[in-house]
Structure 1
Amino acid sequence: MTLRIQSLCTDSTDPKVPADFWEKALGWRRTYEADDEIVLEPPAGSPEDGVSPDLLFLKVPERKEVKNRLHLDLRPEDRDAEVARLEGLGAKRVSVGQGPEVTWVVMADPDGNEFCVLRALRPDELTE
């Protein structure tokens, strides 16, 4: 069977808010925009182009009320520097019950969608 994930979809009362944030945070390109949906894709020609799922932001009438059931985990080279950069773009640190011993930082985009910034991979964890 051949099956691939085409898009990860995020509902929003204003799709422009999370789309603007994620476009800047990931450096992705906006490939489609209408009043009720916006699509972001990896940069053309990048290793992720045509491989990583698109991010699709959809307009819905209701606001987000509870913790996400699905979220993104981001793996930066420098966790603390990336957290600071994302805060500069409008993300906020949030608590979803994680303790102080965790190696990741839970954040929310400007629309309240949680995501995690993980620690950098150690050299022995890198694959060639």
Structure 2
Amino acid sequence: MHQSKLCTLVIDCPPQEFQQAVAFWSHALGRRPPEGADLGKRYVEMEVPVDRIQVLLQQSEDSPAVHLDIETDDVDAEVARLEAAGAERKRQVRTWWVMKAPSGHDFCVVKPQSQDFPAGANQWDGSGE
């Protein structure tokens, strides 16, 4: 048995537009990066209450996009469960997988990211249900 839940909305931004994107999304969402955040880093996480979905801006050479991260206590089991539902593995990055949904949307399966994991997580048995 393993657990998983939606944890992060990731906004992929071209590096040359990253600072402008952080300023825009901060204003649009009413959230801001932590005080003193280094906008030169690849990731900037917006401040949100613990019980809310995380919003992360990521510098990416890919086309601007938005993707979701699903956190889990068993990456292999969650990837297998999602493959059985029609998703495809695209590539492994360190400890997580970039996946492609049957709809064509990319998403990632990652180790726990939220401070309150596993609160609110779904529980899956070995059959994927």
Query: TM-score over 0.5 for the alignment?
Result: no
Q: Report TM bin, short chain.
A: 0.3 to 0.5
TM-score norm. by structure 1 comes to 0.38
Higher strand share: 2
